Every structure is written in C-alpha cells, then in structure tokens.
Structure 1
Amino acid sequence: MFKDFVGDKTIAIAGVGVSNLPLVEFFVKLGGKVVCCDRKTEDKFDKKTLDLLRKNCVRLHFGEDYLDHFDGCDMILRSPGIRYDRPQFAEAVKKGAVLTGEIELFVALCPAKTIGITGSDGKTTTTTLIYEMLKKSGRRCFVGGNIGEPLLNRIENIGADDVVVIELSSFQLHNMRVSPDVAVITNITPNHLDYHTDYQEYQDAKKNIYLNGNTKLVVNYDNDITRRIGEEHTDADTVFFSKTVDTGGVRIYKDVIYSGDEPVLKISDIKIPGIHNVENYMAAIGAVGDMVSREDVHHVAVNFGGVAHRMELVREKDGIKFYNDSIASTPTRTAAGLRACNRKVVLIAGGYDKHISYEEFGDVVADYVKHLVLVGQTAPAIKESAENAVSKRNTSLPIELCDTFEEAVQRAHDAAESGDYVILSPASASFDMFKNFEERGNIFKDLVNKL
C-alpha cells in the first residue's frame, strides 16, 4: 500500500505547480507531513491555493531562497522545471533526504504495466492514441504525466491488471532512475536548449526512458538519433517504425501500415491529416499492437479527431480556414504541420527563444508559406532564415513583423483570401507572452472568433 510507503515522512514539494499542488492534500491524507517551497512570492498565489497550502503544510517557504529549507525532510519531490543538480538538493541528499519527482516515484511503485512516451514532437498525440486504443480494447487504463492530471494521487486505485500510459518530457526524464515497461521515442530534434546545458544533455535525458534492460523500446528508424538508440538497445525487445524501410517492425506498404507481416491499418482511414500523424499511429501500433485488435486500431483511426491545439480547426470565415497549432514549439513540429496542408498558407510564427536553430526552417517556409506574420523573441531569426531561403530561390515572400499577438492575428486575417488557410504554428515556445501553449492557443481562438 502506498500509504505504508508515505508513513509519517516529512515530504518537501519543491515547486508548487500544476502537477504538484494536488499531491499536497494527498500526502497529508495518507499521514505525511508536507513542506512546500516555491520561488514565487506569497502575493503571486491566488487565495484558494494559499488557503489550501496553509491548511495542509507544516511549513511554507516562498521567494528566492525557497530551496534553502529542506532540513528535517525525508523526501523532496522536485518539480520538472527545477534542475536536479541545484546545490541545495545535493546538500539535502547528504543529510539523508531522497530526491525524486512525481513521475519517478509513480513508475517505481506502480503495480500496473506502464507505457512511457517521449520525443521532441508527437508525444501527446501518440500518448492519446495508445490510451484510446487500450480503452477501446476494454482494458482499464489511466493516462497522465506531461498530459492530464497527476498520476501519483491515483496510485491507490490502480491495480496489477491495469495499464498506465505516461507522456514524459525531457524535464521529467532528467535524472530519472527507473523506466516504464514499454518505452516509445517518437523522434529527437533540438529542443529546450534554454533548460538543458547542450543538445547532448537533452538527448541523454530522453534516453533515460529505457534504463531498465527489460524495457520494450519502440523507436523511429527514420530519425538518425532514435535509430542509433534502437540499435544500441540490445538487452530487450526493440521495435522500429519506418515510413520507408522494412525493419521487421512497423512499416508502410502500399498505403497500409503493417506490423511485421500483418496489415493493421489503411492510411486513408486515419481521420487526422499529415504524415507526422501517420508516424504517431505507427509508434502507437508498435507499442500496443500486441495488446489490442485491428478493429480497435481502426475504430480509433476513423473517430479520433486530434488533440486540442494541434492543427485544430477554429472556424471558417469568408472562405478562410483558421487553424490553431499552438503546440508547435519547434521548427520541426511546424514543418510537419505545414507539410500536411495541400496549399501554401498564411503562417503566424514566433515566440519565446529556446536557443534552437532556425537555419533550415527558412526552406520549409519558402516552400509552404505565401505570407509570413511574425511576433515574439524569435521573429528576427525566423525572418532572416526565410529571407535567405527566398533569396536562394529568387522568389518573393511577404513578411510582416508585429509588436503584439493581437496585431499578428489581424494582419494574418487581412493577408488571407477565400480558400486560404491561416495557421498559428509558432515554431517557438510561448513563455515570452503567455503562461503556456494552451493559453496561447485559447487566446488565438478567442481572437479568431472575434474577427
């Protein structure tokens, strides 16, 4: 029982974010004593959150020195956004504290089969597809991690016959020491270089998804890095998926997805557009093809309309379709969305700078964009890349720089004609203007609906 594990431990929660806040009452209910620490000052919390913390915590520490108060703590749950190598954590560990995170603790103690999904692009859709396929098969399953609600406070309701599907970010995998039973890596391209010290550290974090030699690994053969990872993983079952190569795993032949020699799904039956979504289905089939039927896969394919903020049709006005692809926080993700369109589009891009290169992104813009509207920190870099690509082609591309997000949406609308697509696909994170990509997408939808 997880209650026995908690006992009367003093548990510090470092970073009172979305994933950690529900754990406060959970640990107290099980008999634990909770210490909450957050960099935000007290006045930055809403009254409801403060009341919850004051009612349940034995100590509260806010402000710049929030990590200096772990004395007497048996365990520290680190928020994924706080690096594990902070000196205050090392000092607390020397004094006997255990440093972990919600997901690491959950995977270590979960009685059910666990399926973890990571990657630079496509992990949320792949996670959702796996969950929907398992649910259709009649299995009792749970989903969480970097998507949905926290998992740890549901652990007492999860049994050995259940399946848990977990989306895992590089932040959550950083310094993770346990692995799920099945690990899926959709792809790896440069991302989050504002958090990780370099690209290699980002790759190493992703590889922590399969530390256990018994983990089944599902990887993208068409991505150089994940292919090498799969080739190095010789301890247990490795399944490659590929659009072009028959590896004996999941492949495409005559517009049908095969698992080994067995036909599983016609590509034409997939409701959500784009070759990147075909790859997401291939990854999902590689992960749970032995746990679900072809009928289960087909049912999901023809009914699943996609996840919010992922090439989501907002509305059609005056013959112009507006799409919300706010999840696209990298050039590769935006490129995949643009390639899924059957025409050149009006693109709104730009946002927070994660220190990733836009050098090759200009070629995609030149090929798939008829009018480019830019906003945010990365606007100059995207503009330079697009101008270089257009110059090489000896063509032209209208590019507008905007001061506000509202202006960008209006300019994109004004540039579009009947039959056009206007797409918000920023190729950048949201944190320069918004709390997260969901807020950015929701504000985009509000602005579009007011046009």
Structure 2
Amino acid sequence: MELKGKRVTILGMGVSGRAVAGWLVSQGAQVMCSDLNPLNKWPKGLAGWCDKNSVGVETKKHKVETCLSSDLIVVSPGVSPDIPALEAARRSNIPVVGELALAASFWKGPLIGITGTNGKTTTTMLVDEMLKKANVPHVRAGNIGTPLSALIEEHTEETIAVLEISSFQLDYFPRTRYFPFTPPRFKTAAWLNLAPDHLDRYQDIKSYGESKAAIYDFQRPEDWAIRNMDDKKLETWKDRGRARRLYFGMLRPGVPGAGPDTSLKKINIMWPDNKWEEYDLESWSPRGRHNIENLACAILLSRLAGAGAGAVQSVIQSFKAAHHRLQWVVQNAGIDYYDDSKATNVASVLRALESIDQPIVLIVGGRSKGENYASLAEATKKAHIRGAIVIGEEAKAFEKVLSKVMPVIQVLGTKNGKKTMRKAVEKATSLAEPGDAILLSPACSSFDMFKNYEERGMAFQEATREFGDWVIE
C-alpha cells in the first residue's frame, strides 16, 4: 500500500500514537487522530499540531464509522483489540496494525525482537550497551520508550533495530492476508519467559502465551529463535516458527546456547558448530539468578548481531540495572531498602524474594491484573518474610491470602499515593529489625494511585528520606 493520500486513523494518542502520526503525515497520508480523552486532556501542543497539519481529531470515543471510512487503522498498544470499532473494521477487511508492526514493516535494517513477561527491559538495555561498545550501528526502541516510527527516517540498511516488544504490541502484528505491507521479519527473536500477567486483558495464560509466541511467526529458516530452556511454560510453543534454535538457561549436553556454570560465576556458550566461549561474572552487579538468565540471552543476541567477545565482557563488568528493578536505595539503622516497583506481577516478586538473603518486610499491592496471590504465601517456605504491608485497591485481597502465614498491616487510601507510600514505609520500618530488608515489590500495576511504576518507585524512595540521611546510587 502506498501511504500517500490514504485515509489512516490512529487510535490512542499516547507516545506511540503521536510518533506514528508525525511519520504518517510526512508520508502524505490523510490522518485522523482518535483518543478517548477530551481535547483539553490531550498532550500539550498536540491539538495545535493536528490543526496545523490538517489532521482530523476525534475525542471521547473510537467511532465505528470513522474506522469503516479508513484505508488503514493504526492502534496504540493500550487499546483493546475487542472494541466495536476494530471488530467492525476486521469484518470489513480493513487492515488493523500496531505502531510498532507498521514501523517494523518499513524498517530496512535487521530487526532484533525481545519479548517475555519479565526481564525485557534489562535484556534490551544489555544488547544496546553491547552493540554500542562494539560500534555496531543500531537503535533501541519499542516498549522500552522510544517508538520505532520516530526513528524510521534516521536509519540505513545496516542499522539494527533492537526492540523490546510487549504482548500488547504483538497483538497488533499482522495475522491475516489483509495486511497491505511486507510483514516484519526478525533476524533474531528471543522469548525470555512466561508467567501469569495481564489476565485482565487475556482469557488465561495460554492466550497470553499465544500472543508472545507470535514473534516466531515473523522469521525465516535462516534466522535465529532464542528460548529459555528452564521455563517449562514455553514448552507448549517449542516448535513454533521456522527459524534455527538457540537456548539459554541450565543447558543440557549437546544443546547449543548460553548458560551459567553451577557456581554462577561464569557464563558458557556453545555454538552449533561446537565452538565454546566463556564470560566472567565476577564484576557482574545486578542481583538475582533471573538477571543472569537475561544476561545469557543478551550475550547470544549481541554476538549474533556482530558484537565482539571483548565488548560483551566489558559491558558485563560495567552494567547497572535500570531503576526500580530490585534497586538498592539506602541502608538506615541497619535496614536495607529496595525499590522493585517494576515488579507488576507475582512471578517478578517471587524472583525478587529469591534474590535477597535477608529477612524481608514486603510492601505489596496496587491495581489487580487478574492474578492469584497464593504463591506469595507459599514463598514463605523458602524466603524469610517477616511481614507484609498491603496497599492499594488489592490490599484486602493480599491481606486475605498473606495473613494466614505472616503478620500483615493494611494501609488504607488510594487518593494520595505519596501519602499512602510514606505510611507504608513507616509501618514497614516499624516491623523490620537491623539486618532486614524492606522490599517494595507490588505484584500489581500502579494505576490506582500513580501514573506509572516509576512514579510509585520514586514515592517509595522519597519516603525513605524521612528515616535518616542517605545517598542514592
């Protein structure tokens, strides 16, 4: 499809919607921007930009008639695929595509796709740093923050796009023959893991996993598909796609891929041609076995993309994990405070609990994503959890499960997130003893009290200031 002159409707004017709108206008498309918010709630300057560029505006509803009058519909990942406007468009064979899928279709260089329930951002950051160290031309985009459509005009055929991809984004990759462009192709695709998440959007974990597995459908036999050997939930899709296979985790004899030794002090790689590589983890700083798994996957991705072994080892020694991911904040009166606000599902909380050797006071709660919390109570058999502070809309649900196995304090209120977090930190500190760790690892989304997990994490960090002088790393 030639975009010039085509009627394109964009649903959702978040970061990706705004980026793709700008690119589509530059291609000569007739663009309509649709968002559920009233115009006075749109990002500053966007309405004026639309007016200046003759872009149509639709507010408060994604109208069926608007979509049916379109040649193409581009959807932001937060928009549910089941809304009436999109169902009507599909029945009329009008192409529906996500911002990332559309941009990937027009990207001329190689694509690296990274998906999974947890660890996507850390793995994407590692690949980005390794390629940067090796002077391999590339961009980092996708769910990590920068929309790929904002970068299309800057790349060449040699520029690799390293993409963090959520299930919401994969939902809008083309599944039918009505896609009017060359489908995206991932030269390398990695699936890190699968755990219950977003069950407020998906019927069950199988349908959620099916969304993730779609990444392997956009590969050819000469490409590489990388999978976590230790995650049994991925076995359902072990034969998905046509690409060559590599694995990471605790590898079996003769299986090509990357994995740590039993001491967790080295990562060994065996390539399909039986050549071996070894990487030293003595200076590796991120906590937890899960981060070693992320690293193993990142090494495979980076080496396949052209990074040398020396560049990889250099990044291993210097890499720091992103904020709000099991981030040590401060020690005060012998108590360590950890910000793991990015832990928005139960699986990531369990990983955090495994990674801390101290007795823990857990701060948990927020807005439900449809999960069962029973496994957190089961975690007391392995981790020493001294008690829990439960907050947010799910406070009562957590209290019901956790109070059977540990002391629980409920902090009420969702109107003032900072105030609630300050009180939660205060209560956690009263439960903790010198040598303990206070861990914010919510197992929920932040949207009941905060704009995002970053704001929630900063509220936690700010609250700790009230308990002594400290310096953040």
**TM-score, length-scaled by structure 2:** 0.87
Aligned partner of 1:207 among 199, 208, 213: 213
Matched with 1:298 is 313
Matched with 1:399 is 408
- Following superposition, the deviation at residue 146 of structure 1 comes to 0.5
1:112-261, aligned counterparts within 5 Å? 112-177=109-174, 178-214=184-220, 215-230=223-238, 232-233=239-240, 235-243=242-250, 245-246=252-253, 247-255=255-263, 256-260=266-270
Percent identity over the alignment is 30
Aligned length: 440
Range 410-419 or range 302-311, more displaced: 410-419
> Structure 1, residues 386-430: CA drift from partner, whole Å, max 9, x if none?
344x3xxxxxx3211111333212212333333332221111111
Q: In structure 2, how many angstroms separate the alpha carbons of the residues matched to 1:233 and 1:91?
A: 30
Range 247-256 or range 167-176, more displaced: 247-256
Aligned partner of 1:319 among 334, 337, 344: 334
- The one-letter code of the counterpart of 2:198 is H
**Any idea what SS the aligned residue of 1:251 has?**
strand
Matched with 1:69 is 66
Matched with 1:382 is 398
User: Structure 1 201/234 Cα, relative in aligned 2: closer, same or farther at 3 Å?
Assistant: closer
CA contact (8 A) 1:271 1:304 kept: yes
RMSD: 2.2
User: Structure 1 149/141 Cα, relative in aligned 2: closer, same or farther at 3 Å?
Assistant: same
CA contact (8 A) 1:22 1:153 kept: yes
Matched with 1:329 is 344
CA contact (8 A) 1:77 1:99 kept: yes
**Any idea what SS the aligned residue of 2:57 has?**
strand
User: Structure 1 53/405 Cα, relative in aligned 2: closer, same or farther at 3 Å?
Assistant: farther
User: Structure 1 254/194 Cα, relative in aligned 2: closer, same or farther at 3 Å?
Assistant: closer
- Following superposition, the deviation at residue 67 of structure 1 comes to 5.0
1:83-94, aligned counterparts within 5 Å? 83-93=80-90
- Point out where structure 1 has 5 or more consecutive residues left out of the alignment: 391-396
> Structure 1, residues 25-50: CA drift from partner, whole Å, max 9, x if none?
33223322221111112233354333
2:463 is aligned with 1:447: yes
**TM-score, length-scaled by structure 1:** 0.91
Q: In structure 2, how many angstroms separate the alpha carbons of the residues matched to 1:377 and 1:131?
A: 37
- Following superposition, the deviation at residue 99 of structure 1 comes to 1.2
User: Structure 1 5/325 Cα, relative in aligned 2: closer, same or farther at 3 Å?
Assistant: farther
2:43 is aligned with 1:49: no
CA contact (8 A) 1:116 1:183 kept: yes
User: Structure 1 440/368 Cα, relative in aligned 2: closer, same or farther at 3 Å?
Assistant: same
**Any idea what SS the aligned residue of 1:308 has?**
coil
- The one-letter code of the counterpart of 1:264 is E
Q: In structure 1, how many angstroms separate the alpha carbons of the residues matched to 2:152 and 2:363?
A: 42
Aligned partner of 1:268 among 272, 278, 282: 282
Runs of 4+ in 1 over 4 A off after TM superposition: 65-68, 93-96
- Point out where structure 2 has 5 or more consecutive residues left out of the alignment: 175-183, 413-419, 468-473
**Any idea what SS the aligned residue of 1:200 has?**
helix
User: Structure 1 277/434 Cα, relative in aligned 2: closer, same or farther at 3 Å?
Assistant: same
Matched with 1:16 is 13
CA contact (8 A) 1:24 1:53 kept: no
